[in-house]
Amino acid sequence: MATKRLLPVGIQDFPKIRERGFVYVDKTARAYELLTGSGEAFFLSRPRRFGKSLLCSILGALFEGRRELFGELAGRPALALDSLDWEWKAHPVIRIDLNAGDYSKGTAVLDDVLQNELENTARNYGVTLRGQTLPTRFGNLIADLHGRESEKTVVIIDEYDKPLTGTLDEREIHIQMRSLLKAFYGTLKSCDAHLRFIFITGVSKFSQVSVFSDLNQLSDLTFNPRYADICGLTQEELEANFEPEIEGVLKSTGRDRGEYMDKLRRFYNGYRFSEAPLTVYNPFGMLNHFYEGGRFSDYWYGSATPTFLVELLNKHKINIHNLGKMYAAPWDFGKFDIDDYRSRAVALPNRLPHDNRLR
């Protein structure tokens, strides 16, 4: 009897996935392509539960020089990047995750979260935070880590917009959050000489005028066709990496393979992140589907639907059946802001129609 493989349901920590032998769909060649290109500062927007945090963890491990995680490990084969010409230098890495925190309570919560993230990084590298304000402390930490560790600093910010999406219905608090984040992120511009790489993720793209006006070196990957599959699973990746699970479902249910694969595509595929025809599967939905023995259910919708989006739809009485008739131009995704969202069509992730399209 074959041993059941470990599926990383809800696990976003790359070292844990590799060290414990969880199934991992190798995206390291795509990460290598990103890191060795001409850009050094990037922004990526994707829905929740789409692998953004795992990608951040992979990038962190790469810049920390943890080559052991990319070779043969825990009975799993070496990853693609292990054979590529990567420098494997240990850079100091500042990881900031804004997913936690009830930001509706005000900027004190955001201030506390950011202070803790900076303090934890400083403690890990044995440096002392200097300065009175958050932007000053952030900038000093970037420069001090570069000076102490010799190599330039890497900054990875996950869920940058959680304080903003969590306060859309509280205008005064939202504007205060926006002002705090603008000053904090603006620090990165003045620290350019000390920075090797910047990577920022979120579920939305707030107007660059309001949040990233000082950080104008960011390259937006959100609708870049070269990276449309950097998160999510292509049809080829699904079949190449989950054949044991597919065979297990077919054996236990007696389903016809062609019929089953067609239902998988209709139920879980259809997410598209560029004008190119490439579509991907949501990884969270697929992992849960296999973990539960092939049961078809709305796994992503049940745990990853953006609450702020549903609340906006309800508050402004937008009929979701009409959304299929609306068109959002590419530039509309860069103009979203609390000051004008009421007058714009709500922009949902671009999905192709299937039997699980909208609720």
Q: Which of 40, 44, 39, 82 is nearest to 62 (CA)?
A: 82
pLDDT of residue 254: 95
Same-domain status, 72 and 192: yes
pLDDT surpasses 60 at 116: yes
Q: What is the pLDDT of residues 25-48, one digit of tens each?
A: 999 999 999 999 888 999 999 998
Same-domain status, 40 and 183: yes
pLDDT of residue 339: 64
Same-domain status, 158 and 122: yes
Same-domain status, 200 and 281: no
Establish if 60 belongs to a structural domain. Answer: yes
Establish if 325 belongs to a structural domain. Answer: no
Q: What is the pLDDT of residues 58-104, one digit of tens each?
A: 999 999 999 999 999 988 999 999 999 999 999 999 999 999 889 99
Share of the chain above pLDDT 90, in %: 70
Q: What is the pLDDT of residues 270-305, one digit of tens each?
A: 899 998 999 999 999 999 999 999 999 988 776 656
Same-domain status, 213 and 288: no
Q: In total, how many domains does the chain have?
A: 2
Which of 350 and 8 is assigned the larger pLDDT? 8
pLDDT of residue 353: 40
Same-domain status, 214 and 181: yes
Same-domain status, 99 and 40: yes
- List all residues 6 or more positions away from 118 whose beta carbon is below 8 Å from its beta carbon: 94, 129, 134, 137, 138, 141
Distance CA 143, CA 160 (A): 22
* Residue carrying the six token digits 């906006």: 312
Confidence of residue 350 (pLDDT cuts 50, 70, 90): very low
- Out of 121-125, 207-211, 281-285, 344-348, which region has the weakest mean confidence (pLDDT)? 344-348
Establish if 247 belongs to a structural domain. Answer: yes
CATH number at residue 211: 3.40.50.300
Q: What is the span of the domain harbouring residue 262?
A: 235-302
pLDDT of residue 79: 97
Establish if 307 belongs to a structural domain. Answer: no
Mean pLDDT taken over the chain? 88
Tokens of 61: 């491990």
Same-domain status, 212 and 243: no
Distance CA 145, CA 125 (A): 8
Same-domain status, 166 and 201: yes
pLDDT of residue 205: 78
pLDDT surpasses 50 at 210: yes
Establish if 102 belongs to a structural domain. Answer: yes
Same-domain status, 150 and 199: yes
In whole angstroms, what separates CA 141 from the centre of its chain? 24
pLDDT of residue 5: 94
- Out of 160-169, 260-269, 312-321, which region has the weakest mean confidence (pLDDT)? 312-321
Q: Which of 112, 300, 98, 317 is nearest to 202 (CA)?
A: 98
Same-domain status, 177 and 88: yes
Same-domain status, 114 and 200: yes
Which of 182 and 309 is assigned the larger pLDDT? 182
CA 51, 54, 60, 64: dihedral to nearest 10 degrees? -140
Residue by residue, what is the 3-state secondary structure of the chain?
CCCCCCCCCCCCCHHHHHHCCCCCCCCHHHHHHHHCCCCCEEEEECCCCCCHHHHHHHHHHHHCCCHHHCCCECCECCCHHHHCCCCCCCCCEEEEECCCCCHHHCHHHHHHHHHHHHHHHHHHHCCCCCCCCHHHHHHHHHHHHHHHHCCCEEEEEECCCHHHHCCCCCHHHHHHHHHHHHHHHHHHHHCHHHEEEEEEEECCCECCCCCCCCCCCCEECCCCHHHCCCCCECHHHHHHHCHHHHHHHHHHHCCCHHHHHHHHHHHHCCECCCCCCCCEECHHHHHHHHHCCCCCCCHHHHHHCCHHHHHHHHHCCCCHHHHHHCCCCHHHHHCECCCCHHHCCCCCCCECCCCCCCC
Confidence of residue 355 (pLDDT cuts 50, 70, 90): very low
